[in-house]
């Protein structure tokens, strides 16, 4: 018995054609990405976090100085609050989100919304600075690791032979070393140079997974007809790699880089928690969690707020990567909505009337 693949219905075909008719590849990808609800929510959440953390405190960029809207810095030490704290604790948060008619203190931000640490530093300012450093590490590792992984994977997959063997064996050697051990050694020797140098050194070892994915994509694309046509036209290998094959592999690269960035913030958090990441007087979200781990049972808010930001940033980047993967995947079919069905029926009636 021979089973035939079910042909798409007229509704599916007309909807798919109306979606891609007279649209370029970039427009199709953009349209699919904008229809991904999880990715859109993640972009909004990540943008809100970036605006919040970089606008709250003082920021110096290219010789320009911006004074943040938050009144405390990470070095200010106002009086430590203890009178209104339950159970004899100190530095409790003043933020309240429960209205009075529900038995709460009312919706208010207060003097120290995230509370204070042991000596009176405003914890909201510390969390904002920690989120700034964690985001900076994430971006730098994503850019450095993405660039190295793309170049190594592209050269290995295109040239094959001994070039592929040498590069992949070197990649395998890096993969066999646990990432946490590499990060601990780098943090121990270069953590005191600042968060930027720490991220650069970590990015030098974060490209291995991306390089394997790019290599596999290049091995497939180099056998396609447009590559043969470029060779016949006299194009150099460098032009074939960067002008013909690489644009067709950009989907895999973008998705992999987003996943690399989400893993980077978790790596920085783990290293800082172990004491091999960002060092004092600078702070990161991992440093804040590590610094106050002994106070978890009495003042859990010292863990809640850094943890919330870590989870929110990592999940947002993951959802964005998921949306990009679906947008760049040509096998994905967009879900047919009620509006699409109505438009398809109108198109069918118009075709029938013209016939």
- Rounded to an integer, the average pLDDT of 149-154 is 91
Q: Which of 84, 225, 246 is nearest to 157 (CA)?
A: 246
CA–CA distance from 169 to each of 148, 216, 267, 345 (Å)?
Answer: 16, 15, 24, 57
Query: Which pair of structure tokens corresponds to residue 96?
Result: 């309240």
Give the tens place of pLDDT for each residue, 188-199.
777 677 788 888
For the chain, domain boundaries: 25-59+70-75+123-344, 81-115
pLDDT the model gives residue 5 = 45
Span 25-59+70-75+123-344 CATH architecture: Orthogonal Bundle (1.10)
Distance in angstroms between the alpha carbons of the first and the last residue of the chain? 38
Task: State how far the Cα of 197 lies from the Cα of 227, in Å rounded to an integer.
Answer: 39
Mean per-residue pLDDT over the chain, rounded: 80
CA–CA distance from 340 to each of 9, 23, 345, 354 (Å)?
Answer: 14, 17, 9, 21
pTM, two decimals, is 0.79
Please answer whether residues 329 and 36 qualify as being in contact, where contact means their C-beta atoms are separated by less than 8 angstroms: no
pLDDT at 346 over 70: no
Residue 65 DSSP SS3: strand
Task: State how far the Cα of 52 lies from the Cα of 137, in Å rounded to an integer.
Answer: 17
Give the tens place of pLDDT for each residue, 197-243.
888 888 888 888 899 999 999 998 888 888 888 888 888 888 888 88
pLDDT the model gives residue 45 = 94
Sequence-ordered strand ranges (E) for the chain: 59-61, 64-66
Task: State how far the Cα of 38 lies from the Cα of 28, in Å rounded to an integer.
Answer: 18
Give the tens place of pLDDT for each residue, 290-341.
887 777 777 888 888 888 999 999 899 989 988 888 887 755 555 555 555 6
61 DSSP β-pair partners: 64
């Amino acid at each position: 018995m021979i089973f035939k693949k079910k042909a798409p219905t007229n509704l599916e075909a007309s909807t798919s054609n109306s979606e891609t008719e007279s649209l370029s590849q970039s427009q199709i990808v953009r349209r699919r990405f904008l229809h991904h609800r999880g990715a859109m929510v993640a972009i909004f959440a990540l943008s809100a976090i970036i605006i919040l953390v970089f606008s709250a405190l003082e920021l110096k960029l290219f010789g320009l100085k911006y004074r943040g809207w938050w009144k405390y810095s990470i070095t200010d030490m106002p009086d430590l609050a203890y009178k209104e704290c339950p159970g004899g604790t100190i530095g409790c948060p003043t933020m309240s989100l429960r209205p009075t008619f529900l038995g709460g203190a009312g919706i208010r931000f207060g003097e120290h919304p995230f509370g204070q640490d042991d000596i009176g530093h405003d914890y909201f300012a510390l969390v904002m600075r920690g989120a700034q450093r964690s985001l900076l590490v994430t971006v730098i590792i994503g850019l450095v690791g993405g660039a190295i992984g793309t170049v190594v994977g592209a050269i290995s997959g295109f040239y094959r032979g001994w070039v592929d063997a040498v590069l992949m064996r070197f990649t395998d050697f890096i993969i066999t070393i646990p990432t946490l051990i590499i990060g601990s050694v780098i943090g121990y020797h270069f953590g005191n140079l600042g968060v930027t140098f720490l991220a650069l050194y970590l990015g030098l070892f974060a490209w291995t997974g991306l390089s394997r994915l790019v290599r596999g994509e290049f091995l497939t694309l180099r056998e396609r007809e447009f590559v043969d046509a470029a060779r016949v036209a006299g194009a150099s290998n460098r032009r074939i790699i960067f002008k013909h094959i690489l644009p067709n592999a950009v989907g895999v690269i973008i998705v992999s880089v987003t996943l690399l960035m989400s893993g980077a913030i978790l790596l920085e958090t783990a290293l800082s928690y172990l004491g091999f990441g960002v060092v004092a007087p600078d702070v990161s979200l991992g440093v804040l969690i590590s610094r106050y781990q002994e106070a978890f049972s009495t003042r859990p808010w010292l863990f809640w707020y850094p943890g919330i930001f870590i989870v929110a940033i990592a999940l947002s980047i993951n959802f964005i990567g998921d949306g990009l993967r679906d947008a760049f995947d040509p096998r994905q079919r967009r879900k047919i909505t009620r509006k699409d069905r109505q438009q398809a029926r109108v198109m069918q009636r118009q075709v029938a009337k013209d016939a």
